[in-house]
């Protein structure tokens, strides 16, 4: 769907190794990237009050912290 919408860098992964490879590559490319991770549900589901936007920002902050990079910047003052 992303590819059909004009996002050239769209990938589908089903293993952790594939995800790591594509995520690292995406951080090096310019333009939008779209990675679909096909995973199996495991364990108990947690109920949460978190919406999609909050989940996105938590994920981005995790990547920024673990990889020592800045993905989403702050507005210039």
Structure tokens at 59: 């994920």
Question: What pLDDT does 25 receive?
Answer: 94
Q: Within 10 Å of residue 69's Cβ, how many Cβ atoms?
A: 9
- The per-residue pLDDT for range 28-47, each reduced to its tens digit, is 998 899 999 998 877 766 66
Question: What pLDDT does 55 receive?
Answer: 85
How do 9-13 and 33-37 pair as beta strands?
Answer: parallel
- The per-residue pLDDT for range 64-74, each reduced to its tens digit, is 999 898 888 76
Taking the C-alpha atoms of 58, 38, 52 and 49 in order, what is their torsion angle to the nearest 10 degrees? -80
- The per-residue pLDDT for range 4-33, each reduced to its tens digit, is 778 888 999 999 999 999 999 998 998 899
pTM exceeding the 0.85 threshold for the entire prediction: no
Structure tokens at 60: 């981005």
């Amino acid at each position: 769907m992303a590819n059909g919408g004009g996002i050239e860098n769209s990938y589908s992964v089903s293993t952790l190794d594939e995800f790591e490879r594509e995520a690292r590559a995406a951080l090096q490319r310019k333009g939008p990237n779209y990675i679909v991770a096909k995973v199996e549900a495991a364990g108990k589901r947690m109920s949460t009050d978190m919406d999609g936007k909050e989940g996105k920002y938590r994920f981005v902050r995790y990547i920024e912290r673990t990889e020592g990079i800045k993905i989403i910047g702050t507005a210039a003052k």
